[in-house]
């Protein structure tokens, strides 16, 4: 199948902190953050939705320092199926973009 866009097939949804994001069938997870104030972004990962989540290793994520209100990007490229986002900063929101959808061969 020919590619029809630069970024390939993606799914995007509004994010909610502490909600497990299922990364199955996707190569990357990008977070588009609209920070209303300075805050902290954290990512945790797990093999199961209801399991014990641990901090994502530095080599498996790009996590920005949110020093002021504005737009930021973060990414998860790890191998666990589930990821949770923690975002502090009153009024801050984010959108989850699941990119590089994998297809069964």
Residue 103 confidence class, pLDDT cut points 50, 70, 90: low
What's the pLDDT tens digit per position in 64-94? 999 999 999 999 999 999 999 999 888 888 8
Domain definitions of the chain by residue range: 11-100
- Mean pLDDT rounded to a whole number for the chain: 85
Give the residue-averaged pLDDT of 41-69: 95
pLDDT band at 55 (very low <50, low <70, confident <90, very high): very high
Distance CA 88, CA 47 (A): 25
Burial class of residue 1, CB neighbours in 10 A (0-12, 13-18, 19+): exposed
- Tell me what pLDDT residue 28 has: 85
């Amino acid at each position: 199948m020919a590619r029809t866009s630069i970024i390939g097939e993606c799914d995007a949804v509004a994010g909610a902190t502490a909600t497990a994001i299922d990364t199955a069938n996707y190569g990357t997870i990008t977070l588009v953050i609209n920070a209303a104030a300075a805050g902290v972004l954290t990512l945790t990962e797990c093999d199961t939705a209801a399991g014990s989540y641990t901090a994502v290793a530095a080599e498996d994520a790009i996590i920005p320092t949110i020093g002021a209100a504005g737009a930021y990007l973060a990414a998860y490229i790890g191998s666990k199926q589930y990821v949770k986002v923690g975002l502090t900063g009153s009024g801050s929101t984010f959108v989850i973009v699941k990119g590089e959808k994998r297809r069964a061969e």
